[in-house]
């Protein structure tokens, strides 16, 4: 089987955010491109394509992985979570922001939003492993992701606030006036 | 105006879509359109070469490839050089590249061929099969080589000098000759770049049914791109729409236009009849977009016993790379904004803007100001060291005083207008900064640290930033019959939270609920008259325009409501979208909501819903008069433009305390303090975010980031592995910020720009602090631990110089 460019393609079943995507991709297709262009999940962003910036980070089997350093064919049968899969069901079509997402809104943890999906997935996994990080640990948690807008100040605050929201410390409603609480 | 939201930390409305992965950046567009084609560019691997042959014969028979363009395939305006956007009269030898190289390449990365294929992978395969024959030419790399001019970048540009510009206020050389004390300094700043997380990108779709071209571009100026695309493709402007979707950061680089791909993508879309996309990859961004910063300065300064600047004479050399599409904006800004908050009695500045065989130079956040600030602040520190005075004292001596505004420098600024500062309070800012950083307590801290064998230093740097540069921005405010308010302004957004800050202004000015306001930026269909987002101008320019347009809409709403309520306009107020007679209760006949006013503003023939029934000719209007008065128009709208006479000048001061490791020369930030005055703050949360980001970029520029070219013009660190952009581990753990709010008299909201401020004093403030810690002069930035270590060795070799430096920097 080949595609319009005459390349051999492979049937790949990707499990993303609880849904199954059957895609036909050449062996060289990056997971990041498959997610964005074959699955239509454009929330995962590509900032460098060499695994340094972390914008494309998704959770594969719950672990943060650089989707630009994985081939789509190698992700067969893995459970993948992208930024689109972070929201929590609350009966509404769009869902409720997860604690990590909500914390970014509360603390102004994002500006242009391009690197944000990689931070959100990374921190989601990080807080699962360490639910109550110190400030140093919060910094360590995000130390592999690049952001050019925020200077990281409010991202560190977002990590701490997300930890508080996860265990019910701090109101779940939004409001930047809560910024100092973080 | 009832101020409710202006000045408060309103959470950003744009965050909802970004946090859910629902943002729409240019590479996200049309992803589900099976007709979408992708492109890739063959770029020069050589810094300087003549092209003798291009062979594309191996490309077209490749499955999945639809077309390839080289220069020979371009016709008409597309075959002409790209525009020289800012043709300053002093730029005597301006040169721009072609969309695809014609005969010669002048930097590694210059576009040579453009391939369109079914996907990017195949397009890149095709690019690798194009064969180009070159005659190699020796490249000119770096300012020294450009000045030496043993080789030329462009044969017809003698001495590699694109422009030489001189400005003088008074007679600086005579003043220096007569001054009691003089110093000379040679100072150096290297190249860096904006490096937004999203690179450049363009998508174009030609619609044969309507004969319209739609271009989406990750640009800082959609109207600029529109004008260029129409001119280059020979289309009527009215057939071209340019939309800037969500943009993943700009920091200046995306203001340059048109990039070759911004023209080639629409050309391909029209030629092939299918939508086409170009998405720049990270290496391409390093080698084919733009850099900034590289300058060498020679300073002569004469001063009196108090450190008062009697004469300042600055010569500098600016590396503008291979081409000059953005004119002389960066060096002109350096030459004028170098003055900062000071008033030298005599000032002369002369610069040469030089060609090199490297990536071209266009503004990067700060746009020449970081270099100017570095030069002026190094000079201030040198004077203080020479006189044995406290560094803050020498600065205070030279400050423009609060009662001296407007202050005329007797120079011409980047916009061709007089360099006249509108307002500021520099002594108050300095007092706040000293307090914030603990300036007066530092010697005690230094002693405590020294007792532990630790070495620390403190530095400060002051800047003034011309913001809100013209010529204008506009806004259109439309109150719909639902009561929702749709607002369009033409400049673009790259993460500054315009949808929030501008909505705050509308909500306050108009008297509507924040949630009912929706802001659109960067869409030429909604606002075709605009300039762009650069020079910290969006809040000042579009913010003011939106305020003025909201006032017009409000004026009309009150007029119609007064008629409907049979009340006097002056008795009406608008609160939460309801017009009512001030001081009355909620009884019927004393209030009308804006949606109903909108209905009344538009006399209808046809009723399409309940609201519109109320506006048919049978329901409204005086039968004795035309339904729309002669001097009126239908609809509840307001449109206005803001065009200031000149820029408004924000200012600020930074201080940093660093520790330098006695063994490894590692530089650690212990404290970073910022005092910032951008007039009235619309949203302090957003302004602080801008400062945080600017400071982080400044830390990168001062301590980590540089573009490393080898002698053959290869950029050796064109990746995030090698170009050291700060992670969280490199930035200060906290940034202490204090604000002054000295309003600008030049716009109705009293605001000044804030976007670039954080990055401007970084090189200066770190150089000062490291010098203070080490005891020898720091004259070149950025500085790495190994460079600091080398300086230590050099000064250890020369004990006399080391001792002298140690004493002169003791202040």
Alpha-carbon distance A155 to A119, whole Å?
Answer: 8
* A22: its two tokens: 């059957």
Low-confidence ranges of chain B (pLDDT < 50): 1-2, 805-811
Q: What is the pLDDT of residue B802?
A: 52
| Cis before B258 (ω within 30) | yes
Terminal-residue alpha carbon distance, chain B: 49
With CB atoms and an 8 Å threshold, state whether A48 touches B719: yes
pLDDT > 70? residue A175: no
Contact A55, A146 (CB under 8 A): yes
Window 73-102 of A: residues touching B by CB (8 A cutoff) are 82-84, 86-87, 94-95, 97, 101
Shortest distance, CA A67 to any CA of chain B (angstroms): 15
Shortest distance, CA A50 to any CA of chain B (angstroms): 8
Q: What is the pLDDT of residue A1?
A: 81
Name, in order, each residue with C-beta under 8 angstroms of B787's C-beta and a sequence gap of 6 or more.
Answer: B780
Alpha-carbon distance B410 to B419, whole Å?
Answer: 7
Mean pLDDT of all residues belonging to chain A: 92
Partner residue facing A101 (CB), from B11, B19, B735: B19
Q: What is the pTM of this model?
A: 0.95
Alpha-carbon distance B656 to B459, whole Å?
Answer: 6
Annotate B543-574 with DSSP letters as a single string: HHHHHHHHHHHHHHHHHHHHHHHT--GGGEEE
Shortest distance, CA B219 to any CA of chain A (angstroms): 13
Number of A/B CB contacts below 8 angstroms equals: 204
- Using a CB-CB cut-off of 8 Å, the residues of chain B touching A23 are none
Contact B589, B609 (CB under 8 A): no
Q: Which residue of chain B has the CA closest to A85? A: B20
Contact A73, A145 (CB under 8 A): no
Q: What is the pLDDT of residue B6?
A: 95
Cβ atoms within 10 Å, residue B98? 20
* B754: its two tokens: 């804030």
Q: What is the DSSP letter of B82?
A: P
Shortest distance, CA B369 to any CA of chain A (angstroms): 19
- Using a CB-CB cut-off of 8 Å, the residues of chain B touching A4 are 63-64, 118
* A173: its two tokens: 């409603």
User: Helices B785-797 & B762-774, crossing angle to 10 degrees?
Assistant: 40
Shortest distance, CA B128 to any CA of chain A (angstroms): 15
**By three-state DSSP, how is residue B600 classified?**
helix
Shortest distance, CA B317 to any CA of chain A (angstroms): 29
Contact B478, B486 (CB under 8 A): yes
Name, in order, each residue with C-beta under 8 angstroms of B804's C-beta and a sequence gap of 6 or more.
Answer: none
Alpha-carbon torsion (B721, B723, B728, B730), positive or negative: positive
Name, in order, each residue with C-beta under 8 angstroms of B537's C-beta and a sequence gap of 6 or more.
Answer: B467, B468, B469, B473, B491, B531, B753
Q: How big is the CA angle at B387 (ends B384 and B391), to the nearest 5 degrees? A: 20
The full set of domains in chain B, from first to last, is 15-137+194-288 (3.90.1170.50), 365-468+646-805 (3.30.365.10), 473-642 (3.30.365.10)
Partner residue facing A154 (CB), from B282, B689, B694: B689
**By three-state DSSP, how is residue B126 classified?**
helix
How is the beta sheet containing B104-105 ordered, strand by strand? B104-105, B49-55, B131-136
Alpha-carbon distance B648 to B465, whole Å?
Answer: 8
Closest CA to B809 of B779, B768, B761: B768
Q: Which of A31, A81, A92, A149 to mutate to test the interface with B (most CBs of B within 10 A)?
A: A149
- Using a CB-CB cut-off of 8 Å, the residues of chain A touching B496 are 111
Report the b/e string of B6-17 with b at 16+ CB within 10 A. beebbbbbbbbb
Q: What is the dihedral of CA B462, B463, B464, B465, to 10 degrees?
A: -150
User: Helices B369-387 & B329-337, crossing angle to 10 degrees?
Assistant: 30
CA distances from B530 to A18, B362, B770 (A): 45, 20, 44
Q: Does domain A99-181 have CATH number 3.20.20.60?
A: no
Alpha-carbon distance B768 to B249, whole Å?
Answer: 30
- Using a CB-CB cut-off of 8 Å, the residues of chain B touching A156 are 728
- Using a CB-CB cut-off of 8 Å, the residues of chain B touching A44 are 21
Question: A9-84 is classed in which CATH architecture?
Answer: Roll (3.10)
pLDDT (tens digit per residue) in A42-68: 999 999 999 999 999 999 999 999 999
Q: pLDDT grade, residue A170 (50/70/90)?
A: low
* Domains of chain A by residue range: 9-84, 99-181
DSSP tally for chain A: helices H, then strands E:
5, 5
- Number of residues written out for chain B: 811
Annotate A95-147 with DSSP letters as a single string: -BPPHHHHHHHHHT--SS-SSHHHHHHHHHHHHHH-SS--HHHHHHHTTT---
**By three-state DSSP, how is residue B225 classified?**
helix
DSSP tally for chain B: helices H, then strands E:
20, 29
> Is the minimum CB–CB distance between A181 and chain B shorter than 8 Å?
no
Alpha helices, DSSP H, located in B179-234? 222-233
Contact B300, B184 (CB under 8 A): yes
* A179: its two tokens: 């910024």
Q: Which of A81, A153, A174 to mutate to test the interface with B (most CBs of B within 10 A)?
A: A153
- Using a CB-CB cut-off of 8 Å, the residues of chain A touching B198 are 45, 47, 112, 114
* B710: its two tokens: 């080898």
- The helix (H) or strand (E) run that includes residue A24 is strand A19-26
Partner residue facing B249 (CB), from A41, A43, A112: A112
Extended beta strands in B280-338, E state: 295-303, 309-319
Annotate B699-757 with DSSP letters as a single string: HIIIII----B-TTS-BTT-STTTS----GGGS-S--EEEEE----TTSTT-B---SSG
* B696: its two tokens: 């982080």
Shortest distance, CA B90 to any CA of chain A (angstroms): 35
Alpha-carbon distance B94 to B343, whole Å?
Answer: 33
* B491: its two tokens: 């400049």
With CB atoms and an 8 Å threshold, state whether B121 touches A154: no
Alpha-carbon distance B784 to B781, whole Å?
Answer: 9
Phi, psi of B655 (to 5 degrees): -140, 145
Alpha-carbon distance A68 to A55, whole Å?
Answer: 9
Calculate the CA B109 to chain-centre distance. 23
**By three-state DSSP, how is residue A70 classified?**
coil
- Using a CB-CB cut-off of 8 Å, the residues of chain A touching B693 are 111, 148-151
pLDDT > 70? residue A178: no
């Amino acid at each position: 089987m080949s595609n319009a460019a005459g390349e051999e393609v492979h049937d790949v079943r990707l499990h993303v955010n609880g849904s199954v995507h059957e895609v036909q991709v050449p062996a060289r297709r990056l997971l990041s491109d498959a997610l964005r262009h074959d699955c239509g999940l454009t929330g995962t962003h590509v900032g460098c394509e060499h695994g340094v910036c972390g914008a494309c980070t998704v959770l594969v089997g719950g672990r943060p992985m650089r989707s630009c350093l994985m081939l789509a064919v190698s992700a067969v049968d893995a459970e993948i979570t992208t930024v689109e899969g972070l929201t929590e069901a609350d009966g509404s079509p769009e869902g409720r922001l997860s604690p990590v997402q909500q914390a970014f809104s509360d603390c102004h943890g994002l500006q242009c939003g391009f690197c944000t999906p990689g931070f959100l997935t990374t921190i989601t996994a990080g807080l699962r492993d360490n639910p109550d990080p110190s400030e140093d640990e919060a910094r360590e948690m995000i130390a592999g992701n690049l952001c050019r807008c925020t200077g990281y100040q409010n991202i560190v605050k977002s990590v701490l606030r997300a930890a508080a929201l996860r265990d019910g410390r701090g109101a779940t409603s939004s409001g930047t006036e809560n910024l100092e609480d973080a | 105006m009832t101020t409710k939201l202006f000045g408060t930390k309103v959470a950003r409305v744009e965050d909802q879509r970004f946090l859910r992965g629902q943002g729409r950046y240019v590479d996200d567009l049309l992803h589900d359109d099976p007709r979408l084609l992708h492109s890739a560019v063959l770029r020069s691997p050589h810094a300087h070469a003549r092209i003798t042959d291009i062979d594309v014969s191996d490309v077209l028979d490749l499955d999945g490839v639809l077309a390839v363009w080289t220069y020979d395939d371009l016709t008409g305006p597309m075959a002409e050089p790209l525009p020289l956007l800012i043709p300053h009269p002093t730029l005597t030898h301006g040169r721009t590249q072609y969309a695809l190289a014609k005969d010669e390449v002048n930097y590694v990365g210059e576009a040579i061929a453009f391939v369109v294929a079914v996907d990017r992978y195949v397009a890149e395969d095709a690019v690798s099969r194009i064969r180009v024959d070159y005659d190699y030419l020796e490249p000119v790399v770096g300012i020294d080589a450009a000045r030496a001019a043993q080789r030329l970048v462009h044969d017809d540009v003698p001495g590699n000098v694109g422009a030489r510009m001189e400005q003088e206020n008074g007679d600086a050389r005579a003043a220096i000759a007569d001054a009691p004390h003089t110093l000379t300094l040679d100072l150096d700043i290297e190249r860096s770049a904006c490096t937004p997380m999203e690179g450049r990108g363009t998508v174009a779709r030609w619609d044969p049914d309507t004969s319209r071209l739609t271009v989406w571009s990750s640009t800082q100026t959609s109207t600029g791109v529109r004008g260029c695309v129409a001119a280059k493709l020979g289309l009527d402007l009215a057939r071209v729409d340019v939309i800037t979707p969500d943009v993943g950061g700009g920091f200046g680089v995306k203001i340059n236009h048109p990039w070759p791909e911004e023209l080639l993508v629409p050309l391909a879309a029209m030629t092939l009849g299918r939508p086409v996309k170009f998405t720049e990859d990270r290496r391409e961004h390093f080698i084919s977009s733009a850099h900034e910063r590289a300058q060498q300065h020679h300073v002569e300064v004469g001063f009196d016993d108090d450190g008062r600047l009697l004469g300042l004479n600055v010569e500098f050399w600016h590396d503008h790379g291979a081409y000059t599409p953005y004119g002389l904006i960066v060096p002109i800004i350096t030459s004028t904004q170098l003055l900062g908050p000071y008033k030298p009695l005599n000032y002369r500045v002369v610069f040469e803007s030089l060609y090199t065989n490297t990536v071209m130079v266009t503004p990067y956040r700060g746009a020449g100001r970081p270099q100017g600030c570095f030069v002026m602040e190094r000079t201030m520190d040198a004077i203080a060291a020479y006189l044995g005075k406290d560094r803050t004292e020498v600065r205070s001596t030279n400050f423009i005083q609060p009662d001296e505004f407007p202050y005329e420098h007797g120079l011409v600024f980047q916009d061709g207008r007089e360099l006249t500062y509108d307002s500021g309070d520099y002594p108050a800012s300095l007092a706040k900064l000293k307090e914030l950083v603990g300036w007066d307590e530092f010697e005690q801290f230094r002693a405590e640290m020294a007792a532990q064998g630790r070495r620390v230093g403190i530095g400060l740097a002051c800047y003034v930033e011309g913001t809100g540069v013209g010529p204008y921005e506009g806004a259109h405010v439309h109150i719909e019959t639902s009561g929702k308010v749709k607002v369009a302004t033409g400049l673009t957004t790259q993460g500054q939270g315009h949808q929030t800050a501008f909505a705050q202004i509308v909500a306050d000015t108009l008297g509507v609920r924040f949630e009912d306001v929706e802001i659109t930026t960067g869409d030429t269909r909604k606002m075709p008259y605009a300039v762009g987002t650069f020079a910290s101008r969006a809040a000042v320019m579009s913010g003011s325009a939106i305020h003025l347009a909201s006032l017009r809409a409000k004026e009309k709403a009150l007029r119609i409501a007064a008629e409907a309520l049979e009340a006097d306009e002056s008795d009406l107020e608008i609160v939460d979208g309801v017009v009512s007679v001030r001081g009355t209760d909620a009884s019927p006949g004393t209030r009308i909501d804006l949606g109903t006013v909108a209905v009344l503003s538009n006399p209808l023939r046809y009723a399409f819903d309940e609201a519109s029934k109320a506006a048919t000719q049978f329901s409204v209007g005086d039968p004795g008069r035309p339904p729309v008065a002669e001097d009126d128009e239908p609809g509840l709208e307001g449109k206005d433009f803001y065009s200031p006479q000149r820029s408004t000048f924000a200012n600020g001061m930074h201080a940093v305390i660093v520790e330098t490791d006695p063994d490894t020369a590692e530089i650690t930030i212990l404290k970073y303090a910022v005092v910032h005055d951008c007039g009235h703050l619309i949203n302090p949360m957003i302004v602080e975010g801008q400062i945080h980001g600017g400071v982080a970029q400044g830390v990168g520029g001062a301590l980590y980031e540089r573009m490393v070219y080898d002698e053959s013009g290869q950029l050796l660190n064109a990746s995030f592995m090698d170009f050291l952009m700060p992670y969280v581990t490199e930035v200060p753990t906290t940034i202490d910020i204090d604000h002054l709010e000295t309003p600008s008299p030049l716009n109705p909201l009293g605001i000044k720009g804030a976007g670039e401020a954080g990055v401007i004093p970084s090189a200066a403030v770190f150089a000062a602090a490291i010098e203070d810690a080490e005891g020898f002069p720091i004259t070149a930035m950025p500085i790495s631990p190994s460079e600091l270590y080398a300086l230590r060795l050099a000064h250890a070799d020369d004990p006399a110089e080391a001792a002298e430096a140690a004493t002169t920097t003791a202040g």
